[in-house]
Chains A and B, each alone.
Chain A
Amino acid sequence: MQSAKIRAALLASPPIILIALFVGLPVVSAVLYTFGHTGGMNSVVAQIAQHQYVADHWWGTVGAYRNVFATGSFWHSLLDTVLVTVCATALVLVLGGGVALYLRLSGGWLSKVVSLLAVVPLFIPVVIASYAILVFYAPDGFVGSVCQLLGWPDAPVLSYTMVGVTIGQVWVNLPLGVLLLSSAFTSVPDVLIDAARDAGAPMTRVIRSVLLPMSALPAVIVATFTAISVLGSFTVPFLIGPSAPNMLGPEMANTFGPFNQPQQAEVMAVVVFLLAVGAGVYYVRANFRASKRSGASR
Chain B
Amino acid sequence: MTGQWARRWARWCLHATAGLGLVVFTLFVLGPLIWLILRGFAGSWTFPALLPDHWSLRWWQQVFSDSSLAGSIQLSLTFAPVVTVVSALICLPAAYAFARFEFPGRRTLLISLFATNAFPKTGLYVSIAALYYTLHLMGTFLGVVIIQLLGTVVFMTWIPAAAFAAVPRSLEEAARDVGAGAPRVFFRVTLPIVAPAILVAMILSFLSSFDEAQGTFMVGVPNYVTMPTEMYTLVLNYPEQAAAVFAILLTIPSVLLLALVRRHIMGGRLAEGFQLR
Contact = CB atoms under 8 A, between A and B. Distances in A.
Contacts of A208: none
Given A145-B49, A252-B123, A265-B126, A4 B101 contact: yes
A253 B47 contact: no
B36 interface: yes
A192 to B, nearest CB: 18
Q: How large is the interface on A (under 10, 10 to 19, 20 to 34, 35 or more residues)?
A: 35 or more
The 6 closest A-B pairs by CB, nearest first: A269-B123, A8-B101, A183-B271, A132-B32, A148-B48, A11-B97
Nearest to A25: B131
B44 interface: no
Interface string A77-111: 00000000000000000000011001000000010
Given A14-B94, A145-B50, A179-B266, A266 B123 contact: yes
Contacts of B109: 12, 16
B6 interface: no
B119 A99 contact: no
Contacts of B103: 5-6, 8-9, 12
A36 interface: no
B258 A123 contact: yes
Contacts of B111: 284
B127 to A, nearest CB: 4
Contacts of A53: none
B43 interface: no
Contact of A218 (B126, B213, B271): B271
Interface string B153-173: 100110000000000000000
Contacts of B36: 128, 131-132, 135-136
Given A119-B265, A124-B33, A239 B127 contact: no
Chain A contact residues, majority secondary structure: helix
Contacts of B240: 135
A284 B115 CA distance: 12
Chain B contact-residue range equals 35 or more
Q: Which of A5, A125, A136, A252 has the most CB of B within 10 A?
A: A125
Interface stretch (A54-62, A63-71, A193-201, A229-237): A229-237
B interface secondary structure, majority? helix
A284 B276 CA distance: 8
Contact of A140 (B22, B47, B214, B270): B47
B221 interface: no
A133 B94 contact: no
Contacts of A35: none
Q: Which of A43, A145, A290 is the most central at the interface, judged by chain B CB atoms within 10 Å of its CB?
A: A145
Interface string A272-298: 110011001000100100110000000
A135 B25 contact: no
Nearest to B246: A128
Given A128-B231, A291-B277, A183 B272 contact: yes
A117 interface: yes
Given A23-B119, A266-B123, A291 B101 contact: no
A273 B265 contact: no
Contact of B268 (A122, A148, A183): A183
B211 A125 contact: yes
Given A19-B150, A117-B29, A280-B118, A123 B255 contact: yes
A217 B275 contact: yes
Contacts of B31: 136, 142
